Amino acid sequence: MSSSDSLILALDAMGGDDAPAMVIDGAALALERSSGIRFLLAGDENRLRPLLARHGELEKACELLHTEEFVSGDAKPSVALRQGRNSSMRLVIDAVRDGRAAAAISAGNTGALMAMAKVVLRTLPAIDRPAIASVLPSRQRPVVMLDLGANVDCSAENLVQFAVMGEVYARAVLDVEKPRIGLLNVGTEEVKGDNVVREAATLLRDSPLDIDYAGFVEGNDVIDGVVDVIVTDGFTGNVALKIAEGTASLYADALRNAFRGSLRGKLAYLIGRSALGGLRAKFDPRLYNGAMFLGVNGVVVKSHGGTDAIGFAAAIKAAVDIARRGTNERIIEGMAALVTEPDPAETAAR
């Protein structure tokens, strides 16, 4: 994408609850950890310059794309698309389209970001609808789950495309050679579920694709990590993700209160601190921040809106991995196998 040796990442400096400070601090952290990266920073120069002044190294690695416009968190995607042509969010997507950046990262409005990514970058050949995919912790090892909310209604064909994209994504980011794919359902027996998942299961089972389809998985299997890739529609995936995050946060808070609530609790915490610290690090949701828009023709990573610098740095790291491993190119190859009789005219028209 970029003509220089560095990997250039375009950051929407104005997206997210604590932007732009959180974005700048996150970029500084990411720069310490990844070598050979540079940033295009889209946002209000007057607000960004003073923040950058605190990070000498980062300032040298940044080029500013000045704009005073940004997409608000509650803007409708269609409105953001029409009226946000000079927004910080749009500038980072444009930078990816024009090859000036290898990836765009934003913690702003998810719907608006997806709409811009679809319209400006277009979808990959043979993909009808992009999906939001993320890496999540599980009992055994990290797993990939999609769709996390881009498509509330899905056909069986959509789910099959998600499976293929998820398989390639898992190989790229989890370093799993042959990821096992599971379809999320209410039971593991073939008769379970609605027509869409059952038809998707048949398509995947009978597919000539070289993927390891493991069958249906249930909600608890997601957490237990029995497969590497969990495929579901955007409605169920979004609810599942928020339920898991909410439950984890409920437990973490209850644990904290239990320790703080008494002298014995405080003492126990002081003694057990190191053991508990390891636990926290293992499940820290910030370290899993950064969902990819799989299926658009360019790397776009969505950070949680409420994250902090540590979380935003993780999203940048995810984008770096995805771009360096040629994930999108590998998805194009993977999808090509799905199209049994490719139509060059149709492919060219996209």
> Which residues of this protein are in contact with a second copy, per CB under 8 A?
74, 76, 138-139, 149, 152-153, 184, 186, 189, 191-195, 218-224, 232, 234-236, 238-255, 258-259, 261-262, 264-265, 267-269, 271-276, 278-279, 282-283
The partner residues of 143 in beta bridges, in order of sequence, read 136
Shortest reach from residue 287's CB to a second copy, in Å? 15
Q: Are 131 and 117 in contact (CB under 8 A)?
A: no
**Residue nearer to a second copy on the CB measure, 55 or 180:** 180
Q: Please give the structure tokens belonging to residue 251.
A: 């437990």
Shortest reach from residue 257's CB to a second copy, in Å? 8
Shortest reach from residue 155's CB to a second copy, in Å? 13
161: amino acid identity, one letter: Q
**Residue nearer to a second copy on the CB measure, 235 or 324:** 235
18: amino acid identity, one letter: D
Shortest reach from residue 229's CB to a second copy, in Å? 16
Q: Are 121 and 96 in contact (CB under 8 A)?
A: yes
**Residue nearer to a second copy on the CB measure, 73 or 125:** 73
Residue that the structure tokens 């995947």 belong to: 204
**Residue nearer to a second copy on the CB measure, 109 or 297:** 109
**Residue nearer to a second copy on the CB measure, 57 or 194:** 194
Q: Are 279 and 259 in contact (CB under 8 A)?
A: no
Shortest reach from residue 302's CB to a second copy, in Å? 14
Q: Are 125 and 304 in contact (CB under 8 A)?
A: no
Shortest reach from residue 220's CB to a second copy, in Å? 4
Considering only CA atoms, which of 131, 234, 231, 238 is closest in space to residue 179? 231
**Residue nearer to a second copy on the CB measure, 191 or 348:** 191
Host H or E run for residue 257: helix 234-260
| DSSP secondary structure, 266-295, as one string | HHHHHHHHHHHHHHHHHH-GGGG--EEEET
